[in-house]
Amino acid sequence: MKPSRRDLLAAPLLAVPALSACDRFASAAPAQGPEALPLKDILPCPFGATGMTWQLDQADWIAQTLKHCSQLTPEWEQKMERTLGPGFTYDFEPSDRVVGFARDNGLRVHGHTVIWYSQGAEVFDDATLPRDRFAAEYDRYISTFVGRYKGQMAGWDVVNEPVAEDGEGLRDCHWSRALGMDGYMVRAFEQAKAADPDAVLFLNEYNLENIPKKGATFLKLVERLLKLGAPIGGIGTQSHLDIEIPAGQITTFMRDAASLGLPIHVSELDFPMQREGRMPDLRSVADKRAQQVARVGELAEAFMALPERQRYAFTTWGLRDIDSWLVREGKSSDSPLLLDAEGRANPAYQAVVAAVG
């Protein structure tokens, strides 16, 4: 019999002492790999992770995914570098495999990603392609791709990472040069809405919690696009967390984002303890772990405090540490996800469960 949320929350491994303010999770004792109860049964919203075609042949990945997840995001198979070929040819076979796996196993699917500034320029060459051809192929790609999965997707990341790195305005890219800075985004949402009218359509971005200026620019962009008629249905915050940001910063962004009234997706959560590009790092492992647990706990608490209708899903970018792109690419050797390589609970897992309680 499936345990109730009350039974799961009452389990001994989930006990975390109550503290004050946003850092009350920081003292959660580092777990020695206890069993992780199913996240999909604990969280009061869908819990998701990513999947790739090569993982579909791994029995341990399948077992852990079906244990913990109610939602799956294709990690790479729906990116334009995989789906779009020379001469505007399409290949959706890998995407079909991931979507089919999810469908066959009762998981809902979140599509990622339709339009991204960093991909497609080799084919959508704004310097040589006539504007009318550019616009026509842009529309055809979105309508074909999104329409292929009509009725099968819970939502889509329609436009990904449009805000400049430092939050100073928007990114210049092949899409904006050909179709206008706001124009390419409005057009993408309109085409996606026509192709899959029941899916929730997201504007997705990173560093929104980490860089307050970028978060503010992003929310202003959402408001402006809505006024221009873009059928934006949700906000995606990737939440690749910098664990050294000040306490309260995540809560502030989540509160500001919630004020728009749209569903919010924590869409790509991870939280490495290692610094990137900042030396020297004199923190002890205990200090880094405390920062990690505190920031993940704050994010989870701020998300769980949202009205139910605004909690679209809580998604980690990879399920276990060994599934993380950070680990695969050698950018991290610590525990950037909720589960360790064996699928047991990392300390941050307990912070998420405590936030639910």
DSSP string, 332-352: --S--SSB-TTSPBPHHHHHH
User: Can 276 be counted among the known catalytic residues?
Assistant: no
User: Can 268 be counted among the known catalytic residues?
Assistant: yes
Residue with tokens 């609970």: 345
Contact 340, 321 (CB under 8 A): yes
Contact 191, 142 (CB under 8 A): yes
Regarding beta strands 264-269 and 108-116, do their DSSP bridges make them parallel or antiparallel, or are they unpaired? unpaired
Which residue in the list 75, 77, 161, 209 is annotated as catalytic? 161
Name the residue among 214, 224, 329, 296 with its Cα closest to residue 22.
Answer: 296
Contact 339, 321 (CB under 8 A): yes
Half-sphere exposure of 90 (CA within 13 A, CB side): 14
Q: Is 171 left (phi over 0), alpha (psi -120 to 50) or beta?
A: beta
Which residue in the list 75, 205, 209, 268 is annotated as catalytic? 268
> Other CB atoms closer than 10 Å to residue 15's CB: what's the count?
14
DSSP string, 65-87: HHHH-SEEEESSTTSHHHHEETT
Q: Is the peptide bond before 17 cis (omega within 30 degrees of 0)?
A: no
Provide the token pair at 167: 């939050």
* Whole-number Cα distances in Å, 275 to 22, 71, 243, 278, 293: 22, 30, 9, 6, 16
Work out the end-to-end distance of the chain between its first and last CA atoms, rounded to an integer number of angstroms: 22
Residues taking part in catalysis: 161, 268
